[in-house]
A and B are shown apart, each in its own frame.
Chain A
């Protein structure tokens, strides 16, 4: 009995020492263990786990334990604790807040130390990862917003696709149908995300000095376009009522698939969704049209990204970066982005035939070759600004305020955020 207890005690001490050394029971003793929680679930998580497994098989120095953990609050709590994780993923809009608070580490030294070649990346995708001129994350997948059209509805009404915003207004008018009771039965264009839509009108939300430019003429024009061509002609309440009846987004009842909406501005994952839920849908996609007087905006596409980062409290930054390089390698990136139906961030993958298995993916892959890829650079007040933009959008789409009035007020609030 005494011997057993002693063995138990010694075993516990040994296990504690092993944990404190960064390796865990079950892992080979000479390997450094990395914790890798990720937000993805389901098939995406399976694809990521396969990449983790391939890394572990190739390694005799590092062992990665990946676990699906779609809980961002838990992630934040772990990042602020002493025993957090070593590497994880998130969306690009978190970079500013997390980098400015010191939650995630700058990667410049690691990139330089490993002589990591970044020349293959689409330049805008890497730029999006910066805060204060330093890289705080690396992009695994990007998304661009394109105008998708239900071509069957266009053909039924004999409508040509719009090449300018002026033509887009006419197309919306033709493809929005109202019945005898004044109820909308088909909407020409679903409400866009105004953060990205504004760029198609030459707008921007930050100036070159990263100061707010909420009341930029292009931003006002984008919102006025929606007010004048959709909200005022068809009525706020009627549009809301119609929108409330839209089916589940990721299902055959998606309003774009069922023909309730003729045009949507969406990202590349729609190509996979259509493959899964509406295989017979006749559709195409292209850049959102721009005002006829602004031909220089042609090919404008708003870019957002999913990224990998290393928290500041990791004990193994070099090892985490080694694993990150594996995650971002061309083969892993190809496998993973195909599983997600997201866009790769490497230019060498844009023509990869593997993406041809997803019909229509080429629209978005081609968009990454555009000279006019745009994004919102990171600031420490990015999340608060997004919240304010969302509130302002609500005021405009409920016709409580004119776009100009609402955006002028937003500018004042944003300046206060930037000064804080």
Chain B
């Protein structure tokens, strides 16, 4: 009976059902597809076009070829902002991951207060970023800040955290450590997934704490580390809010902190777009950031095979 129907219609019912399911799937996904095309794909493609134009938002873009990209070669702030951002990436990401992992390891104990500790570590990440940054500005105040008072009691030098160009980036790194709660929670979950039998076997073999960490824990959580590393790098390359709030002097001012020491690449794009109204140059800067992000991510992924171990490897 089935065969006769399929012969008559020329189509097999399973194909029809499959096609119908596909259409239904596309239909359900349509809101996202339309949203993606309008709100993401179009702006991305438009920004690529604008990067080759002289465009200020208020008049039609004028094609200028690669002039915007060429102008970056002579732009001191382009280099300065890129170096500042790379500093935050090179030092901030490993520092943040290490701190989060150490915190997770110290929390990975059997304790009835475990949920409380986890909440405590995660709490700073839910504090609004503006409020937290202003709070840190006072903690880091050179004259009356808690941190310098503490350093003074220890007889250590008291840096001008927010005023000295040499200390502004370390100050931002310090603030970054305060908000590793999210990374810590992910690490904690990963640590819980490491099979206990490996540790028991290693203990029987006489392996020490460091050896157990290096040979069991680290390989087991390496996929999670890779994920956090990539996310951390991408987030760091887009570093904006804390530095912007640290540097802000007056409404809509293009400030980069003491001697532009915390002028991050994202801030420089913002200054060009919304202070100087040079949307063409800002678009070109954004595309350079995109290319750098892709290269760095690709490099990390390529190197991952040397140190990331998946289950079953």
Residues of A within 8 A of B260 (CB): 391, 394
With A245-B144, A387-B254, A394-B259 already in contact, the answer to whether A97 and B58 are too (CB < 8 A) is no
Residues of B253-306 contacting chain A, CB below 8 A: 253-256, 258-260, 271, 274-277
A80 near B: Cβ within 8 Å? yes
Cross-chain contact A237 with B160 (CB below 8 angstroms):
yes
Interchain CB contact under 8 A, A390 and B258: no
Q: Cβ of A391 and Cβ of B275 under 8 Å apart?
A: no
* A contact residues, total (Cβ < 8 Å): 32
> Given A240-B160, A244-B162 in contact, is the A80-B255 Cβ separation under 8 Å?
no
Q: Is B200 an interface residue (CB 8 A)?
A: no
Whether the Cβ atoms of A72 and B254 lie closer than 8 Å is no
B182 vs chain A, min Cβ distance (A): 27
Alpha-carbon distance A79/B59, docked complex (angstroms)? 11
**Chain A residues with CB below 8 A from B57, complex form:** 76, 79-80, 101, 103
Answer whether residue B142 sits at the interface, using C-beta atoms and an 8 A cutoff.
Answer: yes
Asked if A279 is an interface residue, CB under 8 A from chain B, the answer is no
- Which residues in window 182-230 of B have CB below 8 A to A? none
From residue 116 to 150 of chain B, which have CB atoms closer than 8 A to chain A? 141-144
Q: Given A76-B277, A391-B259, A394-B259: A102 and B165 within 8 A (CB)?
A: no
Cα distance, A384 to B278, chains bound together (Å)? 11
- Give Cα A400–Cα B258 distance, bound, in whole angstroms: 12
Is there contact, CB below 8 Å, between B165 and A398? yes
B151 nearest CB across to chain A (Å): 13
B251 is an interface residue with CB less than 8 A from chain A:
yes
The docked-state distance in angstroms from the alpha carbon of A384 to that of B256 is 13
A391: chain B residues within 8 A (beta carbon):
256, 259-260
| A244 in contact with B259 (CB, 8 Å) | no
CB distance from B277 to the nearest CB of A (A): 5
Q: Classify chain B's interface size.
A: 20 to 34
Contact B259 A398 (CB under 8 A): yes
Task: Tell yes or no: A242 within 8 A of B by CB.
Answer: yes
CA distance A383 to B255 in the complex (A): 11
Does any Cβ of A come within 8 Å of B56's Cβ? yes
Q: B277 contacts A245, CB within 8 Å?
A: no
Which parts of B41-75 form the interface with A (CB within 8 Å)?
56-59
B253 contact set on A, CB distance < 8 A: 386
Q: Does B163 contact A (CB under 8 A)?
A: yes
Please judge, given known A-B contacts A101-B59, A103-B58, A391-B260, whether A244 and B141 are in contact too, CB under 8 Å. Answer: yes
The answer to whether A76 touches B274, judged by C-beta atoms less than 8 angstroms apart, is: yes
Cβ contacts under 8 Å, A144 to chain B: none
A242-256 interface bits toward B, Cβ cutoff 8 Å, 1 = contact, 0 = none = 111100000000000
What is the CA–CA distance of A270 and B277 in the complex, to the nearest angstrom? 32
- Asked if B252 is an interface residue, CB under 8 A from chain A, the answer is yes
Chain A residues positioned under 8 Å from B275 (CB to CB): 97, 383, 387
Task: Assess whether A395 is interfacial by the CB under 8 Å rule.
Answer: yes
User: 1/0 per residue B137-180: CB within 8 Å of A?
Assistant: 00001111000000000000010101111000000000000000
Q: Which residue of A lies closest to B271 (CB)?
A: A387
8 contacts between A and B (CB under 8 A): A76-B277, A240-B163, A240-B164, A244-B160, A244-B163, A383-B276, A391-B259, A398-B165
